[in-house]
Each structure stands twice: as structure tokens, then as C-alpha cells.
Structure 1
Amino acid sequence: MNPDLDLSFERVVDVPPELVWKAWTTPEYLKRWFTPAPWKTVHAEVDLRPGGKFHTVMESPEGQRMPPNTGCLLEVVPNRRLVWTGALLPDYRPADLGADVPFVFTAVIAMEPHGSGTRYTATVMHSNAGGKAKHEAMGFEHGWGKALDQLVALMKTV
């Protein structure tokens, strides 16, 4: 981790890695927890293979749909590690990000067994310090933490 470019948080949650994995890789579950409420994820696609698509569409509380977020899965280790980036499109095609993209990142989600739960680590690597600062100012830790709380609550019902 590069502290000048990366954001990360770690937490132990009381659901096993298999359920955390299922929440991240099953579109119907992903839509129910991925975006911190009151925002919503209204569409999700996951082509679970290196080079596969990781795609979400978010909606504001006022009903405004955000531009789709489409990225490429880089690493897929069932129940342990999921890595994707917005810098690439599926099948490792370079993304044309355009001027309206505030920052680009690669996300690493690590899941380690911890008792009957999971040690969950989310690391987001940015291409530059300005992107990291923008993401941090948007409330990275609070937002990703709230989404993780939603993931845990959902998966306890499965």
C-alpha cells in the first residue's frame, strides 16, 4: 500500500468469507448492499473471471441515475480475494475515461477467515494523489463502511 495514493480500511465482520464472497459476486445481492443508503444500486453485472466485467449503475435519493461504472476483474480467488479496476474495460480493453471521471482506481477486496467471521480489508489504489484526495473527501471510509454494514445485515438473512 502506498499511503500517498491508496485508501484502505479493515474490519472483522460476523459473517463467514463464503457469504462475503457471495455478496460481492452475485448481482442480485450486490444491488441490495453495494451503495450506501439512501443511494441505490439499480443494476449490477459480474462476469466472474479474470478479464470479466464488474458493472454497476447507481441512483441518487432523488432518482437521478449516475453514469454506469464498468470495470475489469483482474483477480478472482473464490472466498478470499476480488480485484477490479475502472482503468480497464472487460477483456482488459483500455477504458476511455473522459474528463468527467473524477478519479480512477483499482479495488482490492480481501477476505480472511477470522473465527466464525471474516477479516475484511478493502484497499483502493488511485492513479494520483488528487484522485485519492477526491475519494477521501467523498467519504471513502464512511461510505465503504456503511456499504459493508449493509452487506453484513443482508447476508445474515441468507
Structure 2
Amino acid sequence: MTVISEPKFVLTLDRVMDASVEKVWRCWTTPALMEQWFCPKPWYVSDVRMDLRPGGESFCVMNGPDGQRFENLGVYLEVVPMQKIVTTDAFLPGWVPSSRAFMVAETLFADAGNGKTKYTARALHWSEESLKEHEAMGFHEGWGMAADQLEALAKSL
């Protein structure tokens, strides 16, 4: 019998959003909508590509206010419509190992009643070192601001 333990190096954002699962999911799975919320402003996302299936490409460019440009390429590991999206940068499309695996991102969507969504975003890391690196990059503030933008956009749909 295989025992699966909970990952040790996880950063988590939990909240209840004042928008339905359908609207929050739409913001996560429509490239033009993702470009509107995915980075905390004044940063923004461009060039979003999504192939929403295990092994499918997950790509976007994070653009900074001073011309910074960070390409994020990975694959989807799991997609359960209206419930879960799991991506990683550990692999490139075609299951090619990347040069540096940083994290697995797991996003969960659940009906919280009254048109609200229980939203959970987890960043799972391979080591305490990469977790601390992610925290120093501003995980809590940045992912929190992006979630605020996601909720506002979803409410407006």
C-alpha cells in the first residue's frame, strides 16, 4: 500500500470570493481574461497560451513596469473543469524536463454557496530553499493582490 503524505514545502492562499465558480473558472481559463488579473498591478501578463489538458502547454509572459519580461512555460498536470487546475514548470511541453523546477501550482475552486467561490491556490515546492525564495519574491502580497483582481473581474462578468 502506498501512503501519500502531504507536501512539506507549501505556500497557500485561501479565500472566499464574491463570484460564482463558473465566473472564477472562466477568468482562469480564458487567455484574454487572465491577462487582466494574473499579475499584481502595475505588472501585467501578456501572450497567454493554454492547452487545458494534462501535458498541455501553459505559457504567459509577466511584464514589469520598467520593461522587465519573465516568460513562464510549463505544462498542465491536471484539469478538472470547475474544480481544479494543476500546473508545473518542472516540465516543458512534450514532457521535456525543464532546466529548473521551481514549483507545482494547484488551484482549487469550490461552490461556497450564495454565488460565492471557495478559492485555494497552493504553491508546492521541492525544498525549503525554493519556498523561502518564493516568499521573498512576495508570494503572499503578490498572489493576494492577483486574487483581489481575479475576484473583481469575475464579479464584473
> If the length of structure 1 is used for normalisation, what is the TM-score?
0.91
Other structure's SS at 1:96 match: coil
* Alignment-derived partner of residue 71 in structure 1: 74
In the TM superposition, residue 132 of structure 1 has moved relative to its aligned partner by 0.1
Alpha-carbon distance, 1:56 to partner = 0.8
Pairing partner for 1:56 from 56, 60, 79: 60
Tell me how far 1:9 sits from its aligned partner: 1.7
Identity %: 42
Q: Output the CA distance in 2 between the equivalents of 1:96 and 1:139.
A: 23
Q: Which residue of 2 aligns with 1:107?
A: 105
For structure 1, the 5+ residue unaligned runs are 98-102
Q: Does 1:121 align with 2:124?
A: no
Deviation at 1:29, TM superposition (A): 0.6
4+ aligned runs moved over 6 Å, structure 1: none
d(CA) in 2 for partners of 1:155 and 1:20?
Answer: 5
Instruction: Give, as a single letter, the amino acid of the residue that structure 1 aligns with 2:86.
Output: V
Match of residue 9, structure 1, among 13, 24, 31: 13
Unaligned runs of 5+ in 2: 1-5
Could you tell me which of 42, 48, 70 is aligned with 1:44? 48
Deviation sequence 1:19-45 (CA, Å, 0-9, x none) = 111111111111110011011112211
- SS of residue matched to 1:145: helix
Q: Is 1:34 aligned with 2:38?
A: yes
Task: Provide the rounded CA distance (Å) in 1 between the counterparts of 2:27 and 2:141.
Answer: 19
RMSD: 1.2
Shift of residue 63 of structure 1?
A: 2.1
Cα distance in 2 for residues equivalent to 1:138 and 1:64: 15
What TM-score, normalized to structure 2? Answer: 0.91
Q: Corresponding residue for 1:85?
A: 88
